[in-house]
Amino acid sequence: MMLKLVIIGGGSSYTPEIIEGMIDRHDQFPVTEIALVDIEKGKQKLDVISRLAKRMVKKSGKDITITASLDRRNALKNADFVTSQIRVGGLKAREKDERIPLSYGALGQETNGAGGIFKALRTIPVLLEVSKDMAELCPNAWLINFTNPAGMVTEALLKYGSHKRVIGVCNIPFNMRTGVAEILGCQTEDVEIEFIGLNHFVFGRRVLVKGVDYTSIVIERLKDPSNQYSPANIVSEGWSSTFLSSFMMLPNPYHSYYFKGAEMLEKSLKEYWENGTRAEVVQQVEEELFKKYDDKELTEKPTELEKRGGAFYSDAACNVMTSIYTNKGDIQTVNVQNNGTISDLPNDAVIETNAVMGGEGPRPISIGTLPLSIRGIIQLMKNMEELVIEAAVKGDRERLYQALVINPLVREETLAKDLMEELLDAHKEDLPQFYQQV
């Protein structure tokens, strides 16, 4: 039996993670073909990755065919699963997303800040094309999207795309589970966190270890700064006791940008002056990584990849695919359409939530109303996302401006205007929807 996975953005430095994930899970998820797809501009990287992937497979002894191609439509034919990890405009674009806001003394924040907003504007139209192709060429395949901002991108695909089998994944929830397991000294598999909220704005409402509530114990331990969980790419200073005790919920690392914004801004500015933007740092890391990848002796994922920030990305995606394929019915944290799961958010909003993962895809566990302490801020962030999505799809500057004004990292009406104009201009060639002839 054939089982085909297509990786859109196959030339990404993250791809070896997925290859490894597929090899490790081959007994349960016997993939027969992995098709790497990329665009012309990424051909060179694609070749490096493709060769590394082949070496990795060979070493594993698994029966997996690796193919590489620039012809996306051809690759999508007969796909069973498709993953997406693209970066429209490349790291150069990200650099602008970070540098321009910083030049105004504001955080760019490539998830939900002005940077993330412009990343969404660039990405959504491209993935809507993928969605259209999938509806035509592999209508039963699942698209596992981990292109950021994953929440907004998934919502755009589910609202405006032709293909409805789309699941957004992010490594943050998985990361937090692992972090909590470390703090408690137990196995990650035994930890369940009740996640509520949005991608990069998710809270952990309850921690269960083998069905027993450990929330207050974890909260207590988090007060010790040495117990912070955080991904490699966010230097977190931890949360005050007051914050942790008042909210009695686990913040995610990205919450620092909102509730510790002054600190984070100061830190970002300092780093920027010393090393340039994070994008520039990453660019260098990537160059080194690709040099490693190109080494013919390398037959497995190099440990350096983990420094890149996306640890567990592949786990999140590979677990989703495996559970669908095997009708496993375990609980995973994914980005799916709300459809009433959270009563306080629109039905067609995408939320990051726990779902039973089986043969028919994710079925979210009902949440009901949001806790009073976070209801409004989550509603605000979702509203901001909806405005961005509409702006991205329609090239609508009014919606874009509204999103920026509403965004807590911008908020000032003049700053919003300045950022909008400079960023639109800087990304002009990747934002055709805003520059179309009418």
Cβ atoms 168, 335 nearer than 8 A: yes
By DSSP bridging, strand 166-168 and strand 142-145 are: parallel
Helix (H, G, I), strand (E, B) or coil at 88: coil
CA distance 388 to 347: 17
368 is a site residue for its own copies (CB under 8 A): yes
Do you know the residue count of the chain? 438
Of 214, 254, 293, 401, which residue is the catalytic one?
Answer: 254
Of 242, 303, 436, 437, which lies in the binding site for its own copies, with binding defined by CB under 8 A?
A: 242
Interface with its own copies (CB under 8 A), residue total: 70
**Least CB distance from residue 75 to its own copies, whole Å?**
26
**Least CB distance from residue 56 to its own copies, whole Å?**
30
Residue among 269, 258, 142 nearest 200 (CA): 258
139 is a site residue for its own copies (CB under 8 A): no
348 is a site residue for its own copies (CB under 8 A): no
By DSSP bridging, strand 201-209 and strand 166-168 are: unpaired
Which of the residues 372 through 401 are near its own copies (CB under 8 A)?
372-377, 379-384, 386-387, 390, 397-399, 401
Q: Whose Cβ is closer to its own copies: residue 90's or residue 346's?
A: 346
78 is in an annotated binding site: no
Residues 6+ apart with CB under 8 A from 17: 301, 305, 310, 313, 314
103 is a site residue for its own copies (CB under 8 A): no
Is 293 one of the catalytic residues?
Answer: no
In the block, residue with structure tokens 């994922």:
301
Distances (CA, A) of 148 to 84, 182, 221, 350: 10, 27, 31, 14
Cβ atoms 312, 178 nearer than 8 A: yes
Of 7, 31, 282, 405, which lies in the binding site for its own copies, with binding defined by CB under 8 A?
A: 405
Q: Whose Cβ is closer to its own copies: residue 65's or residue 339's?
A: 339
165 is a site residue for its own copies (CB under 8 A): no
**Phi and psi at residue 198, to the nearest 5°:** -125, 160
Residues in touch with its own copies (CB under 8 A): 208, 210-213, 239-240, 242-243, 245-247, 258-263, 327, 329-331, 339-344, 347, 356, 358-360, 363-369, 372-377, 379-384, 386-387, 390, 397-399, 401-402, 405-406, 408, 411-417
> Per the annotation, where are the binding residues for substrate?
94, 148
